[in-house]
Structure 1
Amino acid sequence: MAKVVPLFSGSKGNCYYIGSGNEGVLVDAGRSCKQIEQALALNSVDIAGIHAVFVTHEHIDHCSALRVLAKKYKLDVYASKGTMDALINSHKVESETKLHIIEREAVVGDILVNRIDTPHDAAESCCYRVISPDGKSALIATDMGYMTDGVRAAAAMSDFAVIESNHDIEMLKTGPYPYPLKRRILSDRGHLSNEACAVELAELVKGGTLRLMLGHLSEQNNTPGIAIRTSAAELERAGLKYNSDYTLDVAPAEATLKSVIF
């Protein structure tokens, strides 16, 4: 039996715990070390059982605690080569930290982690599918301008998937962001919209991935209610009933008591 604890998700920072038994890993470390420690404690996760951080990309909302957290708890750090170079060059990790380039997969204890590349305006961004010793798997897939075939296939093979539902397109277009930022978010190297996410979720549920969570919601251009309604409406059009044929939730922006057993 394994579980995912979405510690933080969104514009202010991102961090997920995925573990089985007494061991686990973090995907990203985008809040302060103290905030991550408190969120883990709130969810009864012993940080002593965490052995590694898998970093999706070098943007600060995904790695702000990395330097302190890795040094304090002697955690291994995994990332693509492009991301690792960016982390080193920006001094977001220390040279004495145990750094690992992940090409396709990595093994941490009894946990297997697959890397899947994502289209985003970063050095070499990716997402991760984490597989527990009993074969159950969870995918954390955010920060992507569109859903690639690789991410789609990884989601279809997962028992639980967090998929980015970053923004409502109309809220973004009419909101306060400057035009260049709006264009970047809407581009193929930006973020997945509610509408694009909803279409993908319908296909995933029809394919058998029934436990879903929406991640990385924009604080300015989205709300949990709008994101849920957009996905639920698309799933209903596909003949699927909310919380009957599938489960759907939103990853919290701030620390709360929330975990998913899969």
Structure 2
Amino acid sequence: MGLRFTVLASGSTGNATLVQTEDATVLVDAGLSARKLEGLMKEREVEGSQLDAVLITHEHSDHIKGLGAFARKYELPVYANEATWESMHKHLGKLDPQQRHILPTGGAAEFGGTLGRMRVQSYAISHDAAEPVGYCFYSGEAKLSLVTDLGYMSDKVKQQVMDSDVMVLESNHDPELLRMGRYPWNIKRRILSDLGHLSNEAAGDALSELVTDRLQRVYLAHLSLDHNLQDLARMTVNNILESRGFFFKRDEFALRDTHHDRATPWDEVRRR
């Protein structure tokens, strides 16, 4: 099996991703109801009782909506930094203190045994939350990076996610669709700010600095239902890459979709 993952759901209505090796299975975020999480996981033949941990990126409801009920039901360890715990604990209901694990920003954790050990590295991102983070996953030589919910891609973030084999990258909105949309201006301004979300153009710009011979697939994630389209996101990112001189053969590199209401297929992450 090596390292593999499935994005169960991605977007403002809820976020959750499963990452798995032979010996470890972790859930990143639990922004759907416990029942919905169970259903999506069952479609990928994973039960809640199989999870070794839940990792939380930040405390917004689309990332923790089902966390309390889900963690209680399966008595799961939950990992987040101190500031995120402080901001989210009141929304979770009562959890056994033994389920509460601190993973400091910039810290690492390991799960599983020698057959399929998984290492998780936390890194800081820019978003309007207490202390938001992204995660990189390693198993053997394989590297998967989850890069969503950030207002801009800093040099430090680029260093963290460089040399990924597969990346899940935010491509949240088209700026013109957002400006013309129905949201109040204060919300639009927040989304467009350095503490908001990456636009299609920002995703393409960042990706143009992250393409290496090693990077094989990029999943465009956290797309706005109101201010983006999958075809538009892919086209915008691809056009920026081509304008920077990147032209790929079909088996070299691919942009792939994520969905707000269904899971992506399992994807094996391997070193090229």
Task: Give the SS at the match of 1:214.
Answer: strand
CA contact (8 A) 1:165 1:216 kept: yes
- 2:225 and 2:94 mapped to 1: Cα distance? 28
2:252 match: 245
The residue aligned with 1:223 is: 229
Shift of residue 95, structure 1, vs aligned partner: 4.3
TM-score (norm 1): 0.94
Distance (whole Å) between structure 1 residues aligned to residue 208 and residue 186 of structure 2: 31
SS in 2 for 1:112: strand
8 Å Cα contact 2:57/2:133 also seen in 1:
yes
How big is the alpha-carbon RMSD for the aligned residues of Structure 1 and Structure 2? Answer: 1.6
CA deviation profile, 1:12-54 (whole Å, cap 9, x unmatched): 0000000012521011000011111111111222433211111
Aligned to 1:171: 177
Distance between the aligned counterparts of 1:252 and 1:22, measured in 2? 27
Q: Is the Cα contact below 8 Å between 2:219 and 2:256 reproduced in 1?
A: yes
Q: 3-state SS of the aligned residue for 1:261? A: strand
Q: Give the C-alpha shift of residue 108 in structure 1.
A: 2.2
Shift of 1:207: 5.7
- Gap runs ≥5 in structure 2: none
How far is 1:156 from its partner?
Answer: 1.1
Unaligned runs of 5+ in 1: none
Partner of 1:28: 29
Asked if the contact 2:6/2:263 (under 8 Å) is kept, the reply is: no
AA in 2 matched with 1:27: V
Q: How many residues align?
A: 261
Tell me: CA distance 1:69–1:83, structure 2 relative to 1, closer, same or farther (3 Å). same
Contact 2:16 2:30 in 1 (8 A): yes
Measured after TM superposition, the shift of residue 260 of structure 1 is 1.2
Q: 1:57 is paired with a residue of what secondary structure?
A: coil
Partner-residue secondary structure (3-state), 1:163 = strand
2:108 is equivalent to residue 105 of structure 1: yes
Aligned twin of 2:68: 67
SS in 1 for 2:210: helix
Cα–Cα, structure 1 residues 122 and 242, in superposed 2: closer, same or farther, change >3 Å?
Answer: farther
- Give the corresponding residue for 2:134: 127
